[in-house]
A and B are shown apart, each in its own frame.
Chain A
Amino acid sequence: MDHATLPIIIFILLFSSFIITMIILTKRGKEVFLRPINGLKVIDDAIGRAAEEDRPIMFNLGFDDLSVNLFCSLAVMGYVVRKAAKLSMPVYVPLAQPLAYAMAEEFWKDGYAAMGKEGMFAVEDCLRYMSSNQSALGAGIAGWIKRDHVGANFMFGTYGFESMMLAEAGQQAGAFQIACTPSFYQVPFFMVSCDYTVFGEEFYAAGAYFNRDPVLTGSLVGQDYSKLVLLLLIVLGSLLLTIFQKHDYLRLLLQW
């Protein structure tokens, strides 16, 4: 592991203080406005459409192993499973990581249990460990989507080149598709193949979006303050470098 440099330590402490302060304030009742995110707003519509057409729902968790990205995806998966359980719909979850399987199984079972539909669908039919190999994963999921004629396809988490295979298979099956990913380089593929694409930091906002928990909403506001500080630093740094470009000490300070 590389070690933190002084600027990194300062930024970590600064950003953490923003996030914790805003969590405390929202817990005390501070009102917070969350900008509507279209890709997340239509999740209910996608589930509803699949139910109307009596087609199953698929929720892909990407390539994430036990990581923060997986927890973000699982939070949304829990919401989707509960909604689907209410409508007695099956949710298929293909998995690429063995360790993610256990977590996903718990969230999946909890979702159905919360709606009193425990045991309605067999776990082994709905949750399948596909492969950690990207090609095999892509081919396996694409086949599953087409065979079972999936009606709503959610793709959350980190993806590699298999993103194109999943999204195009869903497109060809006529599924309502929503992708939400922090993988920047896969965004164009999702954009052209999915009905809605959410990317970047909005991926991390998804959990807060469905659950207006003060902890989640507060941390979102804290993130925004952190970004504001970085934006100011970028603008200020650009200006100072432009004005005082001859001065060596300033260059060193800014590079630091």
Chain B
Amino acid sequence: MSKRNILKIIAFVVGLYFFLEYILPEKVGGDFDSYEVNSPVCVEKQGKKLQFYVGSYYKGRGAIGRMVKTDGAWKKDPLPVLQRSLFMKFDQYGLAEPDCAATPEGLTLLYMGQNEKEPVLCFAESKDDGKTFQKRGPAVFSTNGLFKVSENDPNGFLPDRIKTFAAEYANGRWEVFLFTMTYRIFHAAGPDLKHLALDAEPLAGTTLTEKSPNAFDVALEGGAPTLFYIMDREIMKFRKDGSGQWTPLVWKAPHGSGSNDTMYAGGRCDSSDGTLYLGTKQNQKGRPIDSPFETTLCAVKLRDLSDGSPLATEMTFYKKVGAQPKPTYLSYGTEWAGKFLTVVGSFAIFIAMINLMLFHGKKIYQSALNYNAPQGEEKLPGGGAPMRNFLKNAGYSAVFLIFLAVMIVCALKGQTDEARGTGWKTTFDFLFNAIQAPMGSAVFSMITFYMISAAYRSFKVRSLEAGFLMAAAIVCMVGQMPIGELLASLVPESWKLLQLPWLSGKLLSVLNAAAYRAVLIGTLIGSVAISLRIWLGLDNSVYSSVD
């Protein structure tokens, strides 16, 4: 068998392995919570205590697991009760921060669906105490990038993206509080999660710091909502006062206070007994920051907090974080291949460096041997002086070798952990930040002049197409300048075509986007075709240098 055929077979087998790894469904199963557990929520249904939590697995994707309290101990289900959807976009990348409420029909579990655009508040319903859930889709607000404003009965205009939420169900009505990316809390309410009425203004007085809460929930105490959230290591509890302002009631450190190594990773309050269930991440002092930490689900009695008595804690689930589980059984191989590539790549760089040193060293050596020899017919200014000839032939090689040596010495000697990423504490940083980076920026800035000369040439109207190009360029340039806005303000609102900012927007977002997508589709299908040819060994040009 020829070398070419052997290579083709190897390429096919490796390609098949990677292809199968790509198309095989994810292995979530029982190891969905083997990496990390967080965001517990507890609910009582007909005297039965249930707890739902997020198990994070591959790439931080979350699936929701369930625990049931029997004989005073929490017992967890082996498989997740709810996991990401491969077919629906709203929770394609995982689920996070569940909240649960008992309704007359059964249980409703709300969660943040992770996807490629923005987190979406979604919900699912269960009629069998949370053993199985039926997804009901997203509660659509008009900011949800996945959905058009007019679609699917949006629950009003939310002027910001949702960071997290808290929901409670009472007297046939949902009370939903949305914590947004700009640290404001909006209130929405209604009988159905698909048809909520959103308040236009955020709750007054609830924004204390510009930080996201570690845990956030609402409890309906005597019909009036009370908000809890944990910020850093303190619990904040808010209730509306007589003037309609939300005021903080409690400022206490919950479980884990005093330890600098405890972080809170979500959680909800069980309003039936005032217990706050928390996910925590703990790291022993002195341990490197990237070492495995321990995650727990625990419970804190809020009532104890309010009167300052010692904290009553209850551990529900403990997990020592190890390696992330692999998404499919074939992922072990692809991970190994990645490591193999890194190792081989490192050796290749080492060999390449030696090769470069030899190449340039040889050049310098030969130029030194020919130091006084005539350099052909070409004469440099100075009549072919030996030094000039030497510099012409080996000058760049010498500069390369000098700087290679300088950088290696500085990198090996000067770089310390403290200096990394902190500026110019070492010579290496100085050489990199004060010489290499500005030189790169200087070269980049030259593009402006190239652009001007190119634009001057292309804007000469020599044909009909060039005329269209010129017109489109003027519309886009002026449309995005302040003067464009000023000119548009002089044109009546109904004459859209004469408003340059509008026209420029349409040119870019409709005509240009359509052309871009057409080119992109063609390019991607082309790359699929050539990949297929290489994989199946049909494209001989790739193997032309073999044999």
Contacts and interface: CB of A to CB of B under 8 A. Distances in A.
B458 interface: yes
B113 to A, nearest CB: 13
Contacts of A107: 544-545
Given A19-B532, A203-B526, A215-B533, A168 B538 contact: no
A219 interface: yes
19 contacts: A3-B327, A5-B92, A12-B528, A23-B538, A68-B534, A78-B544, A110-B544, A161-B444, A182-B526, A193-B457, A200-B519, A204-B529, A207-B539, A207-B541, A219-B530, A219-B532, A223-B526, A223-B529, A255-B146
A99 B516 CA distance: 30
B450 A227 contact: no
B23 interface: yes
Nearest to A256: B87
Contacts of B334: 1
Contacts of B532: 16, 19-20, 219
Contacts of A126: none
Contacts of B146: 255
A50 interface: no
Contact of B523 (A106, A189, A204): A204
Question: Which of A3, A99, A184, A189 has its CB near the most chain B CB atoms (within 10 A)?
Answer: A3
A226 B440 CA distance: 42
B365 to A, nearest CB: 14
Contacts of A207: 530, 539, 541
Nearest to B450: A168
B88 interface: yes
Contacts of B439: 135
Contact of A184 (B86, B520, B525, B530): B520
Interface residues of A, number: 69
Contact of A3 (B26, B521, B522, B544): B26
Interface in A135-187: 135-136, 138-139, 161, 164-165, 167-168, 171, 182, 184
A37 to B, nearest CB: 13
A98 B349 contact: yes
| B contact patch SS | helix
A5 B86 CA distance: 6
Interface of A: 1, 3-7, 9, 12, 15-16, 19-20, 23, 68-69, 71-72, 74-75, 78, 98-99, 103, 106-107, 110, 124, 129, 133-136, 138-139, 161, 164-165, 167-168, 171, 182, 184, 189, 191-193, 199-201, 203-205, 207, 211, 213, 215-216, 219-220, 222-223, 226-227, 230, 248, 251-252, 255-256
Interface residues of B, number: 61
Given A3-B24, A98-B349, A204 B450 contact: no
Interface in B302-341: 327-328, 334
A164 B516 contact: no
Contacts of B528: 12, 15-16, 19, 223, 226
A219 B529 contact: yes
Given A19-B528, A98-B349, 9 more contacts: A3-B26, A20-B536, A98-B348, A161-B447, A168-B454, A189-B454, A192-B458, A200-B523, A203-B523
A125 to B, nearest CB: 11
Nearest to B531: A68
A211 B24 CA distance: 37
B454 A192 contact: yes
B25 interface: yes
A114 to B, nearest CB: 10
